[in-house]
Amino acid sequence: MEFNLRPASEQDRGFLYALHCQTMRDVIENTWGWDEAWQRRDFDRRFREYLTSIIECDGRAVGGLLLEWKPDSLYIHELQLLPEYQSQGIGTGGIGKAIEQAAARRLPVTLSVVPANPRAQHLYERLGFKVTAIEPPFIRMRYRGDGLKLE
C-alpha cells in the first residue's frame, strides 16, 4: 500500500499517544505492566526527544515512526500502525526508508523488541535484522546493509 512520511507536529501528539496505547498496550502489559501516568510521561519525553514522523495513506494519519540518530546507528524507537493498516507492507516500507537514510550515512539501523512481541521480531528477522544482544526484556537487533563499513 502507498504511504508517505511527514514530520509530526504538536497537533499529532494526541493521535500518536492513542496509537501507542492501542497498538502496544498488550505487549507492555505483558512485559512491565501498564502504568498510565508513566506511559504518558515517557511518551511526552519520546515525542520531544526523537525524530517523529507520521505515516500517511491518502492524507490520513495511519501510523508513527520515531527515530534517533545515535553515534553509530539510526535507532528505530517506535513503529506503529493502526490495526486496519497492518500487514499490508507499510511497516516494511517504513523500515526500508530508515535503512535508506542510514545507508546514506553508511550506518546500520538498530532497534529493540521484547519477547512479548514475537510477530514484530519475526518481521525484523525476515528483513535481515540480526540479534546483537539479549538484555532482558530487550532483544537488541541490527540491520547491517551490504557494503557498510562497520567494526
Ligand X SMILES: CC(C)(COP(=O)(O)OP(=O)(O)OC[C@H]1O[C@@H](n2cnc3c(N)ncnc32)[C@H](O)[C@@H]1OP(=O)(O)O)[C@@H](O)C(=O)NCCC(=O)NCCS
Q: Which residues bind ligand X (CB under 6 A)?
A: 23-24, 79-81, 86-92, 113, 117, 119-120, 122-123
CA distance 74 to 92: 16
Measured from the CB of residue 27, what is the shortest distance to ligand X in angstroms? 6
- Sequence-distant (≥ 6) Cβ neighbours of residue 23 within 8 angstroms: 80, 81, 82, 83
Measured from the CB of residue 88, what is the shortest distance to ligand X in angstroms? 5
Q: What does the block give as the cell for 63? A: 501510523
Measured from the CB of residue 51, what is the shortest distance to ligand X in angstroms? 17
Q: Which residue, 103 or 116, has its beta carbon nearer to ligand X?
A: 116
Q: Which residue, 106 or 122, has its beta carbon nearer to ligand X?
A: 122
Q: Which residue, 135 or 151, has its beta carbon nearer to ligand X?
A: 135
Measured from the CB of residue 149, what is the shortest distance to ligand X in angstroms? 27
In whole angstroms, how far apart are CA 140 and each of 23, 57, 64, 71?
20, 30, 21, 16
**Conformational region of residue 33, where left means phi above 0, alpha means psi within -120 to 50, and beta covers everything else:** left
Q: Which residue, 23 or 53, has its beta carbon nearer to ligand X?
A: 23
| CA 120 to chain CA mean position, Å | 10
